[in-house]
Amino acid sequence: MIELLNISKAYQQKKEFLTVLKPTHLSIHDGEILGIVGKSGAGKSTLLRTINGLIKPTTGEVFVDGISLFSLKQKDINRMRHTMGMIFQHFNLIHSMDAYNNIKLALTIGHYQDDIDSRIHELLYLVGLNGKEHRYPNQLSGGEKQRLGIARALANKPKYLLCDEATSALDQETAHEIIDLLKEIQQKTKVTIVFISHQIDVIKDLCTRVIIMDQGEIIEDQPIKAIFTHPIHPKTKSLVHSLTYEKPNDVIAYELIYDQKNSGEAILSTMIKIYHVDVNILFAKTLKIQEEWIGYLYIEIHGDDLKKAIQYLKDQRIEVSLYA
């Protein structure tokens, strides 16, 4: 388990202090896949780099498995860092080394104790690069480069895998292949994953829990399904709307969110019959969150019994809110 207690980071710029991370508390539990979402500049990378000791926070403490990271000597911080693998947006591979030697270097630096050659082949197989061990990074596609990045990050069997925009340089299809690979690896190895992205659609397929960051602050922290069915902060809502329906300003709509158990159609026609309301459907969308389908329906409702009609929907366990 990783615990951040009251972590903040400020940089001195001329005579002023620029706070890029406000005091933050966060616990990362073993075996979870935590997503960190936010716009560029929100402080995501700063937060991640305090976790592996690359950035020393201005205030607060980081505990990794109960050990206070910054009370350690530099050489022990470095050793602790080997329990954490890291993958990057631009892969950070050594271009003068082939795939085999890129992985070997990580094992050597990590003082790997067992048979290095068989570990390298095991890793190449795990990430789907078997047979490509003698390719140099410039002979690999973007997706293959990231597979190599993952193999290298996992070389020393880390307990934590930290991913900073790991799919942001890839096309959508390749990004999803990498997401599937990370899910498969997590199931096999139980590695705890922290995955930063500015892309909420990538996060929704991978993560079990999501924190949303904005201007150096965590503004929301929820299990993945709740982020998509009960978003609380307006910025979280607008992230969800970026995948469902971005309403024109002059329209006042109701947003209905429902899951497989209460598919909207029959409930809507019953509501119309009982309460004699007029319904105009503006937009409908379904999203697959992990293995579950969530429905989003955007409607205008008019009629004298509007309030009762909406209460009826809520009684059917449909999430209803005004999208003004």
Residues that bind ligand ADP (CB under 6 A): 11, 18, 20, 38, 40-46
What is the 3 state secondary structure string of 144-202?
HHHHHHHHHHHCCCCCEEEEECCCCCCCHHHHHHHHHHHHHHHHHHCCEEEEEECCHHH
**Is residue 197 involved in binding Mg ion (CB under 5 A)?**
no
Q: How far apart are CA 195 and CA 265, in angstroms?
A: 36
Whichever of 40 and 249 has its CB closer to ligand ADP, that residue is 40
Q: What letter does residue 90 receive in the DSSP assignment?
A: T
- Of 301, 306, 296, 290, nearest to 253 by C-alpha is 301
Residue 139 CB, shortest distance to ligand ADP, in Å, is 30
Closest-by-Cβ residue to Mg ion is 45
Binding residues for Mg ion, total number by CB under 5 A: 1
In whole angstroms, how close is the CB of 153 to ligand ADP at the nearest point?
18
Judged by beta carbon, residue 52 or residue 156, the one nearer Mg ion is 52
Which secondary-structure segment (H or E) carries 123? helix 116-126
Chain centre to alpha carbon of residue 219? 15
Distances, alpha carbon 210 to alpha carbons 40, 224, 277, in Å: 17, 6, 38
Say how far apart CA 159 and CA 31 lie, in whole Å: 9
Nearer to ligand ADP, 11 or 125 (CB): 11
The dihedral region occupied by 65, where left means phi > 0, alpha psi between -120 and 50, and beta the remainder, is left
Question: Which one of 24-32, 45-53, 59-67, 238-246 is the stretch in contact with Mg ion (CB under 5 A)?
Answer: 45-53
Which CB sits closer to ligand ADP, 45 or 229? 45
The count of C-alpha atoms lying within 13 angstroms of the C-alpha of 257, restricted to the half-sphere facing its C-beta, is: 20
The least CB distance from residue 12 to ligand ADP, in Å, is 9
Which of Mg ion, ligand ADP, none does residue 11 bind (CB under 5 to 8 Å by kind)? ligand ADP
Output the smallest distance, CB 6 to ligand ADP, in A: 18
Contact partner, 46, from ligand ADP, Mg ion, none, Cβ < 5-8 Å per class: ligand ADP
As a whole number of angstroms, the distance between CA 259 and CA 144 comes to: 36
Tell the smallest beta-carbon distance from residue 171 to ligand ADP (Å). Answer: 21
Please report how close the Cβ of residue 159 comes to Mg ion at its closest, in angstroms. Answer: 23
Q: Which of 189, 150, 156, 153 is nearest to 170 (CA)?
A: 150
Q: How far is the CB of 64 from ligand ADP (least distance, A)?
A: 20
The interface with Mg ion within residues 230-269 (CB under 5 A) comprises none
- Residue 237, SS3 per DSSP: helix
Cβ distance to Mg ion smaller for residue 45 or 52: 45
Nearest residue (CB) to Mg ion, 168 versus 290: 168
113 binds, among Mg ion, ligand ADP, none (CB under 5 to 8 A by kind): none
Q: Which is nearer to Mg ion, 38 or 158 (CB)?
A: 38
Give which of Mg ion, ligand ADP, none residue 42 binds (C-beta under 5 to 8 Å, depending on kind): ligand ADP
Q: Is 45 in the site for Mg ion (CB under 5 A)?
A: yes
Q: How many CA atoms lie within 13 A of 34 on its CB side?
A: 24
Q: Which is nearer to ligand ADP, 121 or 198 (CB)?
A: 198
Q: What would the two tokens of residue 82 be?
A: 């080997």
43 binds, among ligand ADP, Mg ion, none (CB under 5 to 8 A by kind): ligand ADP
Closest by alpha carbon to 100, among 124, 127, 83?
Answer: 124
Residues in touch with Mg ion (CB under 5 A) = 45
